[in-house]
């Protein structure tokens, strides 16, 4: 590691911006009901404020792999922060739904650059024996942002207007911008790469179509021609994208990373982790508000201890990973997630809040042990030349997994909830509890698969390039 590189301020600049982006990802969810009334928009329309964010990430993250090779670290960083600031200002001042959605898309574009860039910088400025701790801190940000979003947004909505959900983040973005300008050096090696237009188009249609299809599946029904058409077109475009990358001398996304078995294993585990985690962060508050009949702010407070514990322990988990290797950290983590889902799946309308708090602590501790450690081990299994591609691939998988997870789990939840006919409070509560329980049972199946997969993990040694 270069002694002249100040890792602390660099990490602060990148991670504060990442936290703001991930906070924005979920913070608005709690205000969707209020915004649908303000802008006189239907629930299906207003949902695009969340879906549009994921869609933008799903489309842009794959492109960042090649952008990180074409442009310097500082150019990418400045672009990322400026997009985040401009998007936040547009959203905060939005006079109509269209402006608010446009602001969200610009915000997401900033985050789509920030996440892969942060990982690439970590893997460049830290040696292998220090990456676990650094990625542990990034894992803290990736968990804390979405987890604190609903709590802080609930508090803002109770005391101020929805505009402040955006305005409150501007000072933090300005802090990142200033710190980055002062301390962030160019750590990546740029080379002359031409951006293949057809690859970008196929990637956009592929990941965009897939995310769009699953996002509207719950509302329009999975048998809808629009849903089936979007998913089929998306999958076909991804297939054509893959074929084109395999045939190109200088591909937009180097898929040779998939020749490394530990990388493939890590990608599968990342997919399951994000599929489960992001859908849980949407369903759990709904369960608490509609089945346990507590306020949105109270629901946010219930989730706080687990999120705080995760923040405190993240650096320690990273150091344990560096010292004892992946299996010693990840396998116990996946086991804790399994235990969490077993308890969640048994909850009903009379569950004590202390049990929800305790279970969430178990769950978040498990997710914290899995999330950053899997990511670190997955990228450690690649040669250095493949880091930008590996990061773009894993980040794409994570965002697509999150979008699919939310869409599929909400669809399962709604179908089961709807089977309890009636609008009486007790019937709605029973239906919500029943829907949540089914979602958590599905999550449990995936969590068990992750536990089994974790048994095959090992620490990569002296990774060589494969032809």
Domain CATH number, residue 126? 1.20.1250.20
- Give the SS3 label for residue 133: helix
Compute the mean pLDDT over every residue in the chain, rounded to the nearest whole number: 83
| Pair (363, 225) in one structural domain | no
| Pair (186, 202) in one structural domain | no
| Pair (40, 58) in one structural domain | yes
| Pair (204, 82) in one structural domain | no
Of the three residues 233, 251, 269, the one that is the final residue of a domain is 251
- Looking at residue 237, its pLDDT comes to 94
Euclidean distance between CA atoms 356 and 346, whole angstroms: 11
| Pair (1, 141) in one structural domain | yes
Burial class for 42, CB neighbours closer than 10 Å (0-12, 13-18, 19+): exposed
- Looking at residue 233, its pLDDT comes to 95
User: In terms of C-beta distances under 8 Å and separation of at least 24 residues, what long-range contacts does 252-255 make, across chains too?
Assistant: 252/62, 252/63, 252/65, 252/66, 252/195, 252/196, 252/199, 252/200, 252/203, 253/62, 253/65, 253/66, 253/199, 253/203, 253/389, 253/392, 253/393, 254/65, 254/386, 254/389, 255/389, 255/393
Contact call for residues 387 and 272 (beta carbons, < 8 A): no
Euclidean distance between CA atoms 137 and 166, whole angstroms: 24
| Pair (98, 154) in one structural domain | yes
What digits encode the pLDDT tens for the residues 92-109? 998 888 899 999 999 999
| Pair (339, 459) in one structural domain | yes
Contacts with 434 (C-beta within 8 Å, 6 or more apart), sequence order: 416, 417, 419, 420
| Pair (304, 422) in one structural domain | yes
pLDDT over 60 (residue 154):
yes
Output 424 or 288, whichever has higher pLDDT. 288
| Pair (290, 430) in one structural domain | yes
Cβ count near 78 (within 10 Å): 17
**Calculated CA dihedral for residues 5, 9, 10, 16, nearest 10 degrees:** 170
| Pair (184, 223) in one structural domain | no
What digits encode the pLDDT tens for the residues 327-353? 889 999 999 999 999 999 998 888 888
| Pair (329, 447) in one structural domain | yes
Kindly indicate the confidence band of residue 1, based on its pLDDT and cuts at 50, 70 and 90. very low
Domains identified in the chain, total number: 3
Which residue segment(s) compose the domain that 220 sits in?
Answer: 196-251
Per mean pLDDT, which range of 49-58, 167-176, 286-295 is the poorest? 49-58
- Looking at residue 422, its pLDDT comes to 56
Of the three residues 142, 169, 191, the one that is the final residue of a domain is 191
Nearest to 147 by CA among 410, 400, 360, 438: 360
Euclidean distance between CA atoms 317 and 332, whole angstroms: 12
Of the three residues 230, 251, 272, the one that is the final residue of a domain is 251
Mean pLDDT of 361-383: 87
| Pair (319, 336) in one structural domain | yes
């Amino acid at each position: 590691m270069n002694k002249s590189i100040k890792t602390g301020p660099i990490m602060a600049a990148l991670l504060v911006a990442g936290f703001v982006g991930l906070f924005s990802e979920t913070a608005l969810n709690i205000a969707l009901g209020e915004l649908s009334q303000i802008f006189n928009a239907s629930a299906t329309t207003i949902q695009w404020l969340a879906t549009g964010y994921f869609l933008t990430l799903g489309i842009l993250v794959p492109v960042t792999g090649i952008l990180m090779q074409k442009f310097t670290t500082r150019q990418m960083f400045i672009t990322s922060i400026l997009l985040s600031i401009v998007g936040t200002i547009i959203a905060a001042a939005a006079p109509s739904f269209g402006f608010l959605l446009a602001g969200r898309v610009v915000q997401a574009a900033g985050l789509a650059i920030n996440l892969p860039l942060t990982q690439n910088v970590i893997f460049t400025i830290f040696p292998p024996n220090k990456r676990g701790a650094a990625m542990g801190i990034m894992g803290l940000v990736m968990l804390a942002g979405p987890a604190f979003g609903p709590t802080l947004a609930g508090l803002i909505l109770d005391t101020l207007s929805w505009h402040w959900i955006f305005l409150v983040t501007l000072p933090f973005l300005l802090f990142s911008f200033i710190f980055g300008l002062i301390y962030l050096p160019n750590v990546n090696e740029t080379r002359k790469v031409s951006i293949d237009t057809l690859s970008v188009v196929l990637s956009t249609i592929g990941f965009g179509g897939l995310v769009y299809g699953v996002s509207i599946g719950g509302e329009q029904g999975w048998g809808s021609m629009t849903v089936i058409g979007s998913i089929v077109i998306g999958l076909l475009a991804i297939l054509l994208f893959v074929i084109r990358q395999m045939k190109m001398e200088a591909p937009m996304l180097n898929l040779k990373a998939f020749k490394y078995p530990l990388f493939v294993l890590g990608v599968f585990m990342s997919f399951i982790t994000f599929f489960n985690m992001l859908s849980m962060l949407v369903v759990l508050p709904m369960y608490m508000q509609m089945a346990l009949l507590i306020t949105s702010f109270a629901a946010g407070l219930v989730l706080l201890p687990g999120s705080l514990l995760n923040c405190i322990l993240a650096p320690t988990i990273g150091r344990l990973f560096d010292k004892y290797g992946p299996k010693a950290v990840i396998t116990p983590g996946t086991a804790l997630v399994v235990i969490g889902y077993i308890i969640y799946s048994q909850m009903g309308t009379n569950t004590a809040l202390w049990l929800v708090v305790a279970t969430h602590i178990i769950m978040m501790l498990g997710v914290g042990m899995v999330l950053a450690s899997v990511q670190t081990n997955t990228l450690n299994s690649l040669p250095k030349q493949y880091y930008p591609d590996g990061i773009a691939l894993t980040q794409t998988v994570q965002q697509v997994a999150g979008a699919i997870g939310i869409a599929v789990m909400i669809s399962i939840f709604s179908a089961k909830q709807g089977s309890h006919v009636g609008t009486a409070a007790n019937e709605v509560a029973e239906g919500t509890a029943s829907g949540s329980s089914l979602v958590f049972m599905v999550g449990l199946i995936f969590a068990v698969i992750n536990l089994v997969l974790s048994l095959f993990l090992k620490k990569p040694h002296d990774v060589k390039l494969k032809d």
